[in-house]
């Protein structure tokens, strides 16, 4: 029998990679950033003596970092990419004070839309258990160098931003977690968020949380500097997570506002190029819109100037936000963050925006009157009899609390609009305290462990400023303190302290809800 021998002692020679012949530009040319040339006809070749010249394409400007130094911004220019040079690493000590990501310079048209049936062919899916999430978590936890931090992110941080009952495919777990399976930078961000979550109750974790934050920003900077084809889905998700991390840590509002502005431009890029599924795009849009909405009321002029008008941005994303990719027991279960309060949150954004335009013009007052009409005529959703038979009792309780939140937000909008249209209206007025009493009753109806409390910061602030009864003030302050501890949200503790200063004492009265007209005072609290 003839013995089998290896053809070479050192293994196979390196195989040459053939062109994939993808038009208009093959992958090799795109990767090398050179112009891809094609002959006019199939069998055309170079003439005798003619030489082939490689034409380099101009480098497109990518992302830059802007460092936040209090009242001045220092721009750090991007270094040109050298293919054969070792990887450039951003200094973590510098990145630690990162403010924002500067987006692509190309102008993106917001009018372009992604067909809702592009991927799902108008299919409507029924609700299904999210068992796959367990598999994702197990796999990622095994591969992750810090399983404790990943577990803190998955079971702590992510749960604290997932308040509404919705279809499993629309949940933050289903949209954030899989991105780390193909991108290690996302896992760095997961670990940073997990460390930040743990550091709120464990002071020994604060140094590690700061180190992880610097590490994830460094790796994120390096990934963005290598981006060849613009925004990717994981980039927009990463910026939103960084915004939430900064928000829950009680940082300066300029930083999350900058993150939100850049996340919006990334999402616009994804929509224009069709690089994201409808489900992922819907989730990213709603995550942006919620944080954008609650930020407008207390944001400084600098914060508001970084963000678009809600009258424009809600119209821009309405078709994506309100699309129904799955069948759910109740229509508002297609909103993983807004829940039953989808319509009133849009009104809240527009009312908050008007407060940044004081003094109001005649046109602004007409808009405010129309918003007041919309607020009074907006009907709250109800739980249908079919849903009561389809869902578990615990799920029905959660859904009813989502409806309570919608009623609370609607009442807060009425308070803000009354004060906006009638600036001399005192909070002791019976009509004001009647609305405040209705809000307090709805807050009492929420169970102590309800995740709805996580997104109650905005109504707690609005209702708190209009409250005059001592018992109501004690209730709101105690809820701010309890939720800050229970859900580990430092900004709720700041809201409680701010309300105490607004209420004042018997000997030294506070400003009350007149502080709504003083941007310097109300901007001291961050939502």
Angle, CA 105 vertex, CA 101 and CA 106 arms, to 5°: 130
Give the chain's mean pLDDT. Answer: 79
Residue 404 has pLDDT above 90, yes or no: yes
Residue 282 has pLDDT above 80, yes or no: yes
Mean pLDDT of 131-139: 41
Give counts: helices (H), strands (E), the chain.
21, 3
Of 124-138, 149-163, 418-432, the poorest mean pLDDT is in: 124-138
| pLDDT value, residue 397 | 94
What predicted TM-score, i.e. pTM, was given to this entire model? 0.74
Residue 369 lies in a domain: no
Q: What is the domain extent for residue 302?
A: 146-329
CATH number at residue 21: 4.10.240
In the beta sheet, which residues pair with residue 72? 69
How far is residue 3 CA from its own chain's centroid?
Answer: 64
- Distance (Å, whole) CA 111 – CA 235: 22
Residue 391 lies in a domain: no
Query: Nearest-CA neighbor of 347 among 279, 399, 408, 299?
Result: 408
- Give the pLDDT band (50/70/90) at residue 413: very high
| pLDDT value, residue 191 | 92
| pLDDT value, residue 523 | 83
pLDDT, tens only, 348-372: 999 999 999 999 999 999 999 999 9
Residue 344 lies in a domain: no
The count of residues in the chain is: 527
Kindly give the interhelix angle for 342-355 and 362-377, rounded to the nearest 10 degrees.
160
β 72-76/64-69 pair status: antiparallel
Residue 190 lies in a domain: yes
| pLDDT value, residue 438 | 97
Count of structural domains within the chain: 2
Mean pLDDT of 331-352: 95
pLDDT, tens only, 200-243: 888 888 899 999 998 888 888 888 877 767 788 999 999 999 88
Regarding whether 205 and 316 lie in a shared domain, the answer is yes
| pLDDT value, residue 46 | 56
Burial of residue 273 (number of CB atoms within 10 Å: 0-12, 13-18, 19+): middle
Query: Nearest-CA neighbor of 473 among 439, 522, 515?
Result: 439
- Give the pLDDT band (50/70/90) at residue 411: very high
Residue 214 lies in a domain: yes
Q: Which residue has the higher pLDDT, 30 or 132?
A: 30
pLDDT, tens only, 452-478: 998 999 999 999 999 999 999 999 999
Residue 60 has pLDDT above 70, yes or no: no
pLDDT, tens only, 476-523: 999 999 998 888 787 888 899 999 999 988 888 888 899 999 888 888
Burial of residue 119 (number of CB atoms within 10 Å: 0-12, 13-18, 19+): middle
Residue 129 lies in a domain: no
505's CB contacts (< 8 A; 6+ apart) are none
Regarding whether 159 and 36 lie in a shared domain, the answer is no
In the beta sheet, which residues pair with residue 68? 73
Residue 20 lies in a domain: yes
């Amino acid at each position: 029998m003839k013995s089998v021998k290896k053809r070479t002692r050192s293994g196979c020679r390196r195989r040459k990679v053939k062109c994939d012949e993808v038009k208009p530009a093959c992958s090799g040319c795109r990767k090398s950033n050179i112009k891809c040339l094609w002959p006019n006809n199939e069998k055309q070749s170079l003439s005798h003596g003619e030489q082939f010249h490689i034409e380099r394409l101009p480098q497109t400007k990518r992302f830059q970092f802007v460092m936040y130094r209090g009242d001045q911004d220092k721009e750090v220019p991007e270094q040109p990419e050298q293919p054969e040079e070792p990887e450039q690493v951003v200094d973590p000590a510098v990145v630690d004070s990162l403010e924002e990501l500067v987006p692509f310079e190309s102008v993106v048209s917001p009018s372009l839309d992604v067909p809702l049936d592009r991927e799902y062919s108008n299919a409507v899916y029924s609700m299904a258990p999210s068992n796959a999430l367990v598999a994702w978590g197990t796999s990622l936890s095994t591969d992750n160098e810090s399983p404790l931090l990943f577990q803190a992110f998955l079971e702590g941080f992510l749960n604290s931003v997932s308040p509404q009952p919705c279809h499993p495919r629309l949940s933050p777990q289903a949209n954030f977690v899989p991105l780390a399976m193909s991108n290690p930078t996302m896992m760095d961000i997961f670990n940073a968020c997990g460390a930040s979550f743990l550091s709120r109750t464990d002071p020994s974790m604060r140094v590690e949380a700061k180190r992880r934050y610097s590490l994830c920003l460094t790796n994120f900077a390096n990934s963005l500097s290598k981006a060849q084809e613009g925004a990717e889905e994981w980039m927009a998700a990463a910026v939103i997570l960084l915004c939430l991390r900064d928000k829950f840590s009680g940082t300066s509002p300029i930083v999350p506002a900058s993150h939100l502005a850049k996340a919006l431009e990334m999402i616009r890029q994804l929509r224009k190029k069709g690089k994201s599924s409808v489900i992922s795009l819907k989730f990213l849009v709603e995550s942006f819109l919620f944080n954008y909405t609650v930020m407008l009321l207390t944001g400084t002029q600098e914060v508001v100037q970084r963000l678009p008008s809600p009258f424009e941005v809600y119209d821009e994303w309405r078709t994506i936000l309100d699309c129904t990719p799955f069948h759910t027991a109740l229509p508002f279960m297609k909103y993983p963050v807004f829940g039953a309060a989808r319509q009133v949150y849009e009104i809240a954004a527009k009312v908050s925006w008007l407060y940044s335009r004081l003094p109001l013009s005649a046109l602004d007052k007409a808009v405010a009157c129309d918003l007041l009409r919309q607020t009074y005529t907006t009907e709250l959703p109800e739980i249908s009899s079919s849903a009561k038979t389809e869902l578990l009792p615990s799920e029905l309780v959660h859904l009813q609390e989502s409806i309570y939140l919608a009623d609370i937000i609607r009442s807060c909008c009425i308070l803000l609009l009354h004060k906006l249209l009638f600036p001399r209206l005192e909070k002791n007025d019976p009509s004001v305290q009647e609305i405040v009493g209705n809000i307090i009753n709805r807050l009492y109806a929420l169970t102590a462990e309800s995740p709805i409390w996580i997104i109650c910061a905005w109504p707690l602030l609005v209702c708190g400023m209009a409250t005059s009864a001592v018992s109501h003030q004690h209730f709101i302050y105690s809820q701010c303190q309890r939720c800050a501890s229970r859900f580990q949200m430092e900004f709720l503790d700041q809201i409680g302290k701010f309300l105490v200063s607004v209420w004042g004492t018997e000997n030294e009265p506070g400003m009350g809800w007149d502080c709504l007209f003083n941007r310097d005072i109300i901007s001291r609290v961050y939502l």
